[in-house]
Structure formats: C-alpha cells, structure tokens
Amino acid sequence: MVKIGNIDLGEQPLFLAPMEDVTDPSFRYLCKHYGADVVYTEFVASEGLIRDCKKSFKKLQLFDFERPAAIQIYGHQVESMVTAAQMTEEAKPDFIDLNFGCPVKKIAGRGAGAGMLRNIPLMLEMTKAIVDAVKIPVTVKTRLGWDDDSKIIVDLAEQLQDLGISALAIHGRTRQQMYKGEADWTLIGEVKNNPRMKIPIIGNGDINNGESAKLAFDRYGVDGIMIGRATVGRPWIFKEIRQYLQNGEEMKPLTVKEKVDLAKLHLEKSIKWKGEPRGIFEIRRHLSNYFKGLPHFREIRMKLVTLLDVQELIKTLDHIAEKYGHIDDSQQNDDYSFFQY
C-alpha cells in the first residue's frame, strides 16, 4: 500500500503530472473520471501568490471530486516559496508539491523549476524551510540532473528525503534533454532500490500505455507512475493502464462518437471554469488530439483549433461523430509517445 503522509493511495497508484495550461479543473475532472488516483494543479508561481495575482490564486482552488490532489508551486527565492507554501496550505490541498523539474526557459532560466538543479544547496535550503513551515505533506518533482554530466538524482533523493519530504517524483530526463530522446528509467530504479530510501518513488517519462506502465512497475519497482504528455486529449489512458495492470487486457477502444461526447463535456467544463474565449483557447490542444489519426481530417482539425463560437464548435464535433462514427481507437493511426505539448 502506497502512502503519502497519512494519505492512502492503494496499490500501484497512477498520477496525473502537473502541466501548465493543461491540468486545470476541467481536465482534472476527466482524468479522475477515468481513474487517475492523484491529480496535480497547473504550476503556481510563488511570486504571483505573494503579489496577490488573481490568476495564481485561482489555480489554488480544488474540488471534492478530485481528491487526493496536490498543488504544485515554483520559485527561486526561499522566503517567497515559504510564504507561498503557507498560503497554499490554507487552500487545503492533500499535499504541496515543489516544482524542481520544469525545463522551460522562462522558468528554469530564472533558477526555478529544473533551474534548481544548478544550485543544489539552495534547493535543499528551500525544501527544508518549506517542510518546517507547513503541517501537510511536502513532495518534490524533479529530474535526473541538469545535463548528462550531472546526473545527481541518486544522492539528491537521499538528501531530499532526509529533509522530510513525503514522496519524490522523478522524470527520467535531464533538463538539457527537455522532452527529447527516451526517458532513462535506470536511475529512477536505482533511487527506488537504494536501501536508504523509505519514501514513495514515483516514476515519470514516456508512459503511454498499459504495457509501458507495467514494465515500469515490474522492472524498476517504483511505487507509482506519473503520466504527463500522453494524457493530453486522452484522459482515458488511466482506465487503459489500470485495466492492463489488473488483468493484462487492453481496454475496449473508444469510438469516435464516445470521444465526441467526451470533447463536448470537456468544452463545457472548460468554459464554465475559464469563460469565453479563454476556455476555448485552452482546450484546443485537447480537441485536436482527441481525434488524432483520423483520415482526411486536416480541414476539420483547422476548425477545431480556430473556431471561437461555441455553437459552431459543437456543430463541428457533431459532424465528426457523423462522418467518423464507425471508427474506433484501433483504426486510428495514433502515436502519443511523440506528442509535445
């Protein structure tokens, strides 16, 4: 049984990775519906919180349907991160996650996210200060290291554990790799199999189906699996993986009609949460990917990613159901493993 603090997550829990402009409440709703055991918010900037930024505060809102859920914060200054963690605690997440893994330049370039991998003393000072400042579990998500010459995760994991974190999620790439190449799970396995490690180790990187998830559990012994890019436009992946883990069987493919119904629900939830037109803008990557691989789809895809009128979008989705309703996942030429958000 896997536990984070006193939170019981069951056996082989599946985590929805935090992703900016992706893991908002509308998408978390769908992922929980399909069996995600733990979900994370989008990245919350510590500086945004302490400066009373409305957008940052809105990201703190959680709902009963999605628990257990974590709020992930990032920043590069200890004092700001401590204050942000205390503000985050007031929002009553099940745990607070520290983002030491985001590789994008606007975050890592400022020393936050994966940028912390270039200043380990600061990372450790910050982690200790936050663990001491809040009463709920604190977890960390990070990478193998900054580059191929500094894959420090095995030693770093021990140091973070000794500071009192309750779980560690590791993406099997360096910051330099971004999302290129294949994730290296060997070091994730080395962390998990280190006899000094007692906290849950969650593996992340290139999990895109039941088979890859089972391999990660069986070969590397991780306590949980975190799934990021492969969920975009495919929230049902959690159900796929759970079924495969339980009985080794593939889930019955979704029909295009079922995907259309799901896309409509997602659109409704997104608009309800973010309003128009933002709720439409931020669902576009999902709408396009829901139907990835359908033949002769270019013109329709262009509508999905350009229309701003809700009723026109719904009409387009209905047209997809009518035109492609006989096709299911097994007949689509999908390859989620190379999808970049």
| CA separation for the pair 246, 320 (Å, rounded) | 33
Instruction: In whole angstroms, give the CA distance from residue 180 to residue 175.
Output: 10
Question: With 80 as the cut, is the pLDDT of residue 16 above it?
Answer: yes
Burial of 245 (0-12, 13-18, 19+ CB in 10 A): middle
The C-alpha atoms of residue 165 and residue 157 are separated, in whole angstroms, by 10
Kindly state the percentage of the chain with pLDDT values over 90.
Answer: 91
Instruction: Give pLDDT, residue 332.
Output: 47
* 206 neighbors 172 (Cβ within 8 angstroms): yes
Q: What is the pLDDT of residues 199-219, one digit of tens each?
A: 999 999 999 999 999 999 999
List C-alpha distances in Å: 146 to 31, 72, 109, 142, 168: 31, 20, 12, 10, 17
- State the average pLDDT for the chain: 93
* Res 329: pLDDT: 52
Nearest Cα to 11, choosing from 235, 225, 206? 225
For residues 104-125, b (16+ Cβ closer than 10 Å) or e, as one string?
A: eeebbeebbbbbbbeebeebbe
The model's confidence at residue 198, banded by pLDDT at 50, 70 and 90, is very high
Instruction: Say if domain 256-331 classifies as CATH 1.10.1200.
Output: yes
With both helix axes pointing from N to C terminus, report the angle between 25-33 and 256-274 in degrees, rounded to the nearest 10.
140
pLDDT, tens digit, 9 for 90 and up, residues 40-51: 999 999 999 999
**DSSP conformation letters of 70-116:** EEEEE-S-HHHHHHHHHHHHHT--SEEEEEE----HHHHTTTSGGGG
Say what the pLDDT of residue 335 is: 36
Intervals of CATH 1.10.1200 along the chain: 256-331
Catalytic residues: 102
Which pLDDT does position 63 carry in this prediction? 94
State the CATH architecture for 10-247. Alpha-Beta Barrel (3.20)
Q: Please state the length of the chain.
A: 341
Residue 333 has pLDDT above 50, yes or no: no
pLDDT of residue 52: 85
- Is residue 328 pLDDT above 70, yes or no? no
Q: Are 145 and 157 in contact (CB under 8 A)?
A: no
Instruction: Locate CATH 3.20.20.70 in the chain.
Output: 10-247
- Residue with the two structure tokens 């510590």: 46
Supply φ then ψ for residue 2, to 5 degrees: -95, 130
Between residues 31 and 332, the one the model is more confident about: 31
Q: pLDDT (tens digit, 9 = 90+) per residue, 73-130?
A: 999 999 999 999 999 999 999 999 999 999 999 999 999 999 999 999 999 999 999 9
Q: Give the pLDDT score at 334.
A: 41
* β pairing state of 201-204 and 167-171: parallel
| pLDDT band with cut points at 50, 70 and 90 for residue 336 | very low
pLDDT for 39 beyond 80: yes
pLDDT at 232 over 90: yes
Predicted pLDDT of residue 341: 23
